[in-house]
Amino acid sequence: MTYEILKIADNDGILTVTITREKALNALNRQTFDELEHFFNNALTDYPQMTGIILTGAGPKSFAAGADISEFLTLGKDGAAKMSRRGQVIFDKIEYFPKPVIAAVNGFALGGGCELAMACHMRIASENARFGQPEVNLGILPGYGGTQRLTQLVGKGKAMELLLTADMVKAPEALALGLVNHVVPAEELLAKATGILKKIATKGPLAVARSIQCVNANFDETKNGYDEEVKAFGEISNTQDFIEGATAFLEKRAPNFTGK
Ligand code: COA
């Protein structure tokens, strides 16, 4: 697939994926979803040396200002439910992606944009970032997992408040709520996300992937997170990477992980 909306830059295995609909504040239209779906379905094979992904929006104003409202009106009940399910499947793919995915939130993260950021493993916000689920302003509600992930991240009471009032949260409050991991000046946003991914790239990749899986299991009612952890711990203990990591520690040198 040739990407027209996503711009992908590969810097030594760290992929920066930028949504480039700046004039529409990077609103997520159908094509953006198609490209996100294709990208996350193929990234591991298309970029075999990849160690992590930064997701961001073009321009200084917006990460993504929601699903594209201009595509909403004609959907109908079945069409809307289908769109909601498809968005959830694509965002689940991000949440379960075995390499770390960081949202670098460079402005508005509203509606589907906030849901997209919440599907990422971490969120770094620029000081001008604004978060919110303003769907009730339109007489609708989040459809891409927002009611669930917001509740997971900020707790039931605050999630209720944000979902029912459509209030926007500024970056410092988002930090206090646990909605974002760090707030930095806009010019340091990508460097901060890159620094975190570079640090993770020095760790055992299989252990990183299984840690993502185990954390997600905590929120998956079909799984027992403790059992997932026991299983992962047993399997990881039987890898070359674990032997290398433990040996390197004992030999007082940096490990050379191979992902095997
Ligand atoms: N879908 C489609 N287009 C959108 C959009 C969205 N979610 N959000 C912004 N845009 C478009 C605007 O229509 C406008 O297009 P135009 O220049 O052709 O008129 C352009 O992006 C700039 O937006 P504008 O509203 O002029 O910028 P602003 O700085 O005055 O306000 C926001 C910024 C984010 C507060 C405002 O755009 C907004 O409320 N957007 C909708 C957010 C939302 O409800 N998201 C959830 C959707 S379910």
pLDDT digits (tens, 9 = 90+) for 110-157: 999 999 999 999 999 999 999 999 999 999 999 999 999 999 999 999
Is residue 258 one of the residues assigned to a domain?
A: no
Which residues of the chain, if any, have pLDDT below 50? none
151 & 193 share domain: yes
Domain that holds residue 212: 203-250
- Check pocket membership of 132 for ligand 1, CB cut-off 6 A: no
Count of the separate structural domains present in the chain? 2
14 & 133 share domain: yes
- Check pocket membership of 80 for ligand 1, CB cut-off 6 A: no
Is residue 34 one of the residues assigned to a domain?
A: yes
Q: Which of 200, 221, 236 is the last residue of a domain?
A: 200
179 & 242 share domain: no
153 & 98 share domain: yes
The pLDDT, as a whole number, for residue 73 is 82
φ/ψ of residue 129, rounded to 5: -70, 150
Is residue 246 one of the residues assigned to a domain?
A: yes
The pLDDT, as a whole number, for residue 75 is 86
Residue 85's CATH number: 3.90.226.10
**4 carries an active-site annotation:** no
Residue nearest to atom 40 of ligand 1 (CA): 65
235 & 162 share domain: no
Residues with Cβ within 8 Å of 27's Cβ and at least 6 positions away in sequence, in order, are 21, 64, 65, 66, 67, 68, 69, 112, 113
pTM to 2 decimals?
A: 0.98
